[in-house]
Amino acid sequence: MDTANRRKFLVGALGAAAVSVTTGTANAQRKVARASGVRVKLGLNAYSFNRPLTQGSITLSGVVDYCAQHGIDALDATGYYFPG
């Protein structure tokens, strides 16, 4: 996509967004139905600590402790952070 096409796309998208906001069509029309008992759980990817992990200023065990202290339910502990 060249610069001119990208610019036309962005101008059009911003214009459409502005029109929907000014006409009120961007607002929700009714309350969104929620399924009872459904809970979203937070997870953290170990890559969020890439620099401290690779520099050795924190261990994978330290990242697990961080998750526990901050109420994070899951950790995606990418394999290359495991020693050996």
Question: What is the pLDDT, as a whole number, of residue 74?
Answer: 94
- Residue 63: Cβ within 10 Å count: 21
State how far the Cα of 33 lies from the Cα of 61, in Å rounded to an integer: 40
Which residue shows structure tokens 């967004």? 17
Q: Which residues of the chain have pLDDT under 70?
A: 1-4, 16-29
Distance CA(35)–CA(83), nearest Å, equals: 42
Q: What is the pTM assigned to this prediction? A: 0.54
Q: What is the pLDDT of residue 22?
A: 58
* pLDDT given at position 37: 81
